[in-house]
Structure 1
Protein backbone atom coordinates (compact mmCIF):
# COMPACT_ATOMS: atom_id res chain seq x y z
CA UNK A 1 0.00 0.00 0.00
CA UNK A 2 1.30 3.44 -0.95
CA UNK A 3 2.06 6.05 1.71
CA UNK A 4 0.06 8.47 -0.46
CA UNK A 5 -3.12 6.69 -1.58
CA UNK A 6 -4.45 9.80 -3.41
CA UNK A 7 -1.17 10.49 -5.28
CA UNK A 8 -2.00 12.55 -8.40
CA UNK A 9 -0.02 14.29 -11.13
CA UNK A 10 0.02 18.04 -10.54
CA UNK A 11 -1.54 18.78 -13.93
CA UNK A 12 -4.43 16.41 -13.22
CA UNK A 13 -5.42 17.82 -9.84
CA UNK A 14 -8.77 19.46 -9.31
CA UNK A 15 -10.10 21.85 -6.72
CA UNK A 16 -10.40 20.17 -3.35
CA UNK A 17 -7.17 18.17 -3.55
CA UNK A 18 -3.98 18.66 -1.52
CA UNK A 19 -1.35 20.40 -3.66
CA UNK A 20 1.68 19.38 -1.56
CA UNK A 21 4.46 18.13 -3.85
CA UNK A 22 5.69 14.70 -2.83
CA UNK A 23 9.38 14.25 -1.99
CA UNK A 24 11.54 14.25 -5.11
CA UNK A 25 8.70 15.54 -7.31
CA UNK A 26 8.18 19.03 -8.73
CA UNK A 27 6.98 20.83 -11.80
CA UNK A 28 3.98 20.07 -13.99
CA UNK A 29 4.77 16.38 -14.34
CA UNK A 30 5.45 15.93 -10.61
CA UNK A 31 3.11 14.21 -8.18
CA UNK A 32 1.20 15.85 -5.36
CA UNK A 33 -0.49 14.36 -2.30
CA UNK A 34 -3.99 14.67 -3.81
CA UNK A 35 -5.86 13.95 -0.56
CA UNK A 36 -9.35 15.47 -0.35
CA UNK A 37 -9.36 18.84 1.43
CA UNK A 38 -11.12 22.19 1.48
CA UNK A 39 -7.82 24.10 1.53
CA UNK A 40 -4.66 24.04 -0.55
CA UNK A 41 -3.13 21.39 1.70
CA UNK A 42 -4.56 18.48 3.68
CA UNK A 43 -4.35 18.78 7.48
CA UNK A 44 -1.12 16.78 7.67
CA UNK A 45 0.71 18.88 5.07
CA UNK A 46 -0.80 22.16 6.33
CA UNK A 47 0.76 21.51 9.74
CA UNK A 48 4.08 20.62 8.11
CA UNK A 49 4.24 23.78 6.00
CA UNK A 50 2.63 26.44 8.21
CA UNK A 51 4.38 27.13 11.51
CA UNK A 52 2.85 29.64 13.94
CA UNK A 53 4.78 32.87 14.39
CA UNK A 54 6.85 33.05 17.54
CA UNK A 55 6.34 36.08 19.71
CA UNK A 56 9.51 38.12 19.46
CA UNK A 57 10.85 41.14 21.21
CA UNK A 58 11.38 44.29 19.18
CA UNK A 59 13.90 46.84 20.36
CA UNK A 60 13.99 50.38 19.04
CA UNK A 61 17.06 52.61 19.18
CA UNK A 62 16.38 56.30 19.53
CA UNK A 63 19.25 57.64 17.45
CA UNK A 64 18.12 61.24 17.82
CA UNK A 65 19.33 61.32 21.45
CA UNK A 66 22.98 60.77 20.43
CA UNK A 67 23.56 63.96 18.44
CA UNK A 68 27.05 65.02 17.43
CA UNK A 69 28.59 67.63 19.80
CA UNK A 70 29.22 70.35 17.17
CA UNK A 71 26.12 69.77 15.07
CA UNK A 72 22.74 70.62 16.53
CA UNK A 73 20.86 69.39 13.44
CA UNK A 74 22.61 66.02 13.12
CA UNK A 75 20.64 63.16 11.62
CA UNK A 76 22.47 59.84 12.07
CA UNK A 77 23.09 57.70 9.02
CA UNK A 78 22.47 53.97 8.93
CA UNK A 79 26.03 53.02 9.91
CA UNK A 80 25.77 55.05 13.12
CA UNK A 81 22.41 53.53 14.04
CA UNK A 82 23.55 49.93 13.51
CA UNK A 83 26.69 50.18 15.68
Structure 2
Protein backbone atom coordinates (compact mmCIF):
# COMPACT_ATOMS: atom_id res chain seq x y z
CA UNK A 1 0.00 0.00 0.00
CA UNK A 2 1.24 3.48 -0.84
CA UNK A 3 2.44 5.74 1.95
CA UNK A 4 0.18 8.45 0.48
CA UNK A 5 -3.00 6.76 -0.77
CA UNK A 6 -4.66 10.12 -1.68
CA UNK A 7 -1.64 11.44 -3.63
CA UNK A 8 -2.90 14.11 -6.06
CA UNK A 9 -1.31 16.54 -8.46
CA UNK A 10 -1.36 20.03 -6.93
CA UNK A 11 -3.10 21.48 -9.98
CA UNK A 12 -5.93 18.92 -9.60
CA UNK A 13 -6.65 19.46 -5.89
CA UNK A 14 -9.94 20.84 -4.64
CA UNK A 15 -11.10 22.38 -1.39
CA UNK A 16 -11.00 19.83 1.40
CA UNK A 17 -7.80 18.12 0.27
CA UNK A 18 -4.41 18.33 2.00
CA UNK A 19 -2.05 20.70 0.12
CA UNK A 20 1.16 19.41 1.73
CA UNK A 21 3.78 18.89 -1.00
CA UNK A 22 5.29 15.44 -0.91
CA UNK A 23 9.09 15.22 -0.59
CA UNK A 24 10.78 16.03 -3.89
CA UNK A 25 7.56 17.36 -5.42
CA UNK A 26 7.17 21.11 -5.96
CA UNK A 27 5.46 23.45 -8.38
CA UNK A 28 2.07 23.28 -10.09
CA UNK A 29 2.72 19.77 -11.44
CA UNK A 30 4.09 18.39 -8.16
CA UNK A 31 2.16 15.95 -6.01
CA UNK A 32 0.52 16.79 -2.69
CA UNK A 33 -0.83 14.53 0.06
CA UNK A 34 -4.47 14.94 -1.06
CA UNK A 35 -5.93 13.39 2.12
CA UNK A 36 -9.29 14.75 3.30
CA UNK A 37 -9.11 17.77 5.61
CA UNK A 38 -11.48 19.09 8.26
CA UNK A 39 -12.85 22.58 8.87
CA UNK A 40 -11.57 23.94 5.54
CA UNK A 41 -7.95 23.51 6.64
CA UNK A 42 -5.19 23.37 4.04
CA UNK A 43 -3.53 20.32 5.59
CA UNK A 44 -4.72 16.96 6.91
CA UNK A 45 -4.35 16.40 10.67
CA UNK A 46 -0.97 14.66 10.28
CA UNK A 47 0.58 17.41 8.14
CA UNK A 48 -1.10 20.18 10.13
CA UNK A 49 0.70 18.94 13.26
CA UNK A 50 3.98 18.72 11.34
CA UNK A 51 3.77 22.27 9.92
CA UNK A 52 2.08 24.23 12.71
CA UNK A 53 4.15 24.14 15.87
CA UNK A 54 2.72 25.84 18.98
CA UNK A 55 4.43 29.06 20.00
CA UNK A 56 6.87 28.76 22.84
CA UNK A 57 6.35 31.06 25.78
CA UNK A 58 8.87 33.63 24.66
CA UNK A 59 9.67 36.73 26.59
CA UNK A 60 10.89 40.01 25.20
CA UNK A 61 12.58 42.16 27.78
CA UNK A 62 12.87 45.88 27.34
CA UNK A 63 15.30 47.85 29.42
CA UNK A 64 15.09 51.61 29.09
CA UNK A 65 18.78 52.28 28.86
CA UNK A 66 18.20 55.92 27.99
CA UNK A 67 16.88 56.65 31.50
CA UNK A 68 20.22 56.07 33.17
CA UNK A 69 23.45 57.80 32.58
CA UNK A 70 26.03 55.83 30.65
CA UNK A 71 29.53 57.14 31.10
CA UNK A 72 27.95 60.49 31.97
CA UNK A 73 26.38 60.64 28.51
CA UNK A 74 22.77 61.68 29.14
CA UNK A 75 21.88 61.91 25.45
CA UNK A 76 22.24 58.16 24.77
CA UNK A 77 19.47 56.22 23.05
CA UNK A 78 19.80 52.42 23.00
CA UNK A 79 20.08 50.64 19.67
CA UNK A 80 18.29 47.41 18.85
CA UNK A 81 21.18 45.18 19.95
CA UNK A 82 21.05 46.72 23.41
CA UNK A 83 17.28 46.31 23.74
CA UNK A 84 16.79 42.74 22.49
CA UNK A 85 18.79 39.96 24.08
Common fold: TM-score over 0.5: yes
The CA RMSD measured in Å over matched residues stands at 2.0
2:35 is equivalent to residue 35 of structure 1: yes
> Which residue of the partner structure matches residue 21 of structure 1?
21
Shift of 1:75: 4.0
Higher-Rg structure is 1
Q: Which has the higher helix share?
A: 1
Aligned length: 80
Aligned residue among 57, 60, 63 for 1:58: 60
- What's the CA shift for 1:9? 0.2
For the residues of structure 2 that align with 1:17 and 1:4, how far apart are their CA atoms? 13
Which residue number corresponds to residue 78 of structure 1?
Answer: 79
TM-score (norm 2): 0.81
Q: TM-score, normalised by structure 1?
A: 0.83
